[in-house]
Amino acid sequence: MEGTKINEILSIIRTLNNGSVLSNQKDIDTKKELYSDMAQLFINEIDMKYYFFASFSTEKDNFEISNMGEIEKITINNTETYKAIDTPTPNSSYLVLFWEVPSIDESIYRHIIKLEENEFFFKKYVFYYTSEELKAFKKWFSEKISFNKGDIKTILNEISNEDFEKPEICFILRLLIKIPFFDLPFPKAVLQDFDEIVQNKILVIRGNNGKKIKDLNEMLTQTLSMETQNLNEIIELIYKKTIGE
């Protein structure tokens, strides 16, 4: 079951990355065997970065009890794998946790922050989603986007016309934020602001402040349609629309 969840999300990532998990690198060259259904490893051999993907889970009524210890055993101490490749080091290692949650509310944010801020061995990213969001995204994607044209730029142009409160849009925006190697069509500095805006303005307050959601939708639409490549102009637009003049 855990392997199925990982493969389902990685399949979406491949679609956005033109057929491979890591951009412009074939999976056959980057994927390394971990001998476990709970985690997968891909190595960017251009800059020797290790990207681990794992299925994260917690006890139903206790977020503090999770399978994180087991994940670390598989990824950090996998002597069988590291006989064939160089052992990863903390400054070269990323861990992306796929966490399917029953619902998204304030109670899970504290746990996510604790995980991501604890950078023991890995730089951690928690991609959290509900089964409803995943189902809605797959339906939306199949209806709106051609499989052969499902790259990131196409996705961003399409969602600029959508309601940001929809579960499918929350799903894809969160995925783009939480995967550290996506080649997004934004300058790096703008993407950092975009990350903060989406998390704070959509994921936390969605449904509670329609005006800000509308403003963010307008901001994204204008940013995508801007002919200028001037970084300062793009940053100024984002701040005016989300933080205030």
**Residue 201, pLDDT score:** 47
**Residue 24, pLDDT score:** 85
Q: In what order do the strands lie in the sheet with 31-32?
A: 31-32, 39-44, 49-55, 93-100, 123-129
**Residue 218 within a domain:** no
**Residue 238 within a domain:** no
**Residue 57 within a domain:** yes
Q: Which residue has the higher pLDDT, 8 or 107?
A: 8
Q: Which domain holds residue 29?
A: 2-144
Residue 207's pLDDT band (boundaries 50, 70, 90)? very low
Q: Is the pTM of this model over 0.85?
A: no
**Residue 203, pLDDT score:** 47
Residue 235's pLDDT band (boundaries 50, 70, 90)? low
Residue 108's pLDDT band (boundaries 50, 70, 90)? confident
**Residue 103 within a domain:** yes
**Residue 200 within a domain:** no
**Residue 220 within a domain:** no
**Residue 42, pLDDT score:** 97
**Residue 65 within a domain:** yes
- The per-residue pLDDT for range 211-221, each reduced to its tens digit, is 555 555 555 55
**Residue 58, pLDDT score:** 92
- The per-residue pLDDT for range 128-170, each reduced to its tens digit, is 999 999 999 999 888 877 655 566 777 777 777 777 789 998 8
Tell me what the mean pLDDT of segment 197-223 comes to: 52
* pLDDT higher than 70, residue 225: no
* pLDDT higher than 70, residue 109: yes
**Residue 161, pLDDT score:** 75
Domain count of the chain?
1
For the ranges 18-22, 43-47, 124-128, 195-199, the lowest mean pLDDT is seen at 195-199
* pLDDT higher than 50, residue 48: yes
Provide the token pair at 207. 């449904």
**Residue 69 within a domain:** yes
**Residue 188, pLDDT score:** 47
Q: Do 170 and 202 touch, CB atoms closer than 8 A?
A: yes
Tell me what the mean pLDDT of segment 2-26 comes to: 87
